[in-house]
Amino acid sequence: MEPSATLATGFGPQGALARAGDFVLLGGPAMWAIALLSVATLALILWKVMQLLAFGAWSGGRHTARALDQWTQGQHQAAMDGLATRTSLRASHALGAMRATANPAMDREGAEAEATRIGRALLTKARSGLRGLELAATVGPLLGLLGTVTGMIAAFQALQEAGSRADPAALAGGIWEALLTTAAGMAVAIPAQMALAWFDSVVDHLAEDMEDAATRILHAPGLNKPGMNKSGDRMSITPQAPATEQFRAAE
């Protein structure tokens, strides 16, 4: 059966799969590339959701908040013990900042640098895979456009060869088949861009929570380390900040 005939008939799961296969065949090599890109994009989105779940991105940070309350009340060892078994990014960063602050070999500046280093390393892990989604959102429409251009070239070549016997219906069929790749490329890029924006917002929220926790830990009442910064400036641990900038003044 010709692809065009299969597209016009068939319902249910098997019919949908057959139509999807025909779309891929009609689109040519560009459609195959888009199909592979769509599978990779879906797998990346699912993996990223599972990774952020494992990192405790949506847990709310209840254990970390309780440990921070203990820390500010002077119960330093109890706060660190409460976070020792936690694996979330918030807890890992807070525990690292607490240990650095409690380390008598580190002055205040060294503890701040260590907390910043730990936070940036954790946020880099949280942002892993986002470049892949960004690439899918960019490349998908370009692949679709490439398939459309090559399909239009083939359609007009066939029209030229037919000469005066050219069939407008055949030309129209060739054009809509070429446009399939553009639609497919956009169908991949739109979900990829939406997922990228969502994951970015989740990581940004994590960064805000981690910066707030580091500030509370390093400037808790009763701490008296050499070089203590009493201004209460808010720390910055976001990877986008230059490495030489260790603080971000609160507005």
Q: Tell if the pTM clears 0.85, that is, is over it.
A: no
- Which residues are paired to 247 by β-bridges? 235
- Which residues are paired to 235 by β-bridges? 247
Report which of residues 241 and 215 the model is more confident about.
215
C-beta of residue 22 within 8 angstroms of C-beta of residue 170: no
Rounded (to 5) percent helix, strand, coil in the chain: 75, 0, 25
User: Is it the case that residue 162 has pLDDT exceeding 90?
Assistant: no
User: What residues contact 79, with CB distance under 8 A and at least 6 apart?
Assistant: 67, 68, 70, 71, 98
Q: How does residue 4 score in pLDDT terms, banded at 50, 70 and 90? A: very low
Averaged pLDDT, 141-165 = 81
C-beta of residue 220 within 8 angstroms of C-beta of residue 71: yes
| 8, 22, 139 from 5: Cα distances, Å | 5, 10, 31
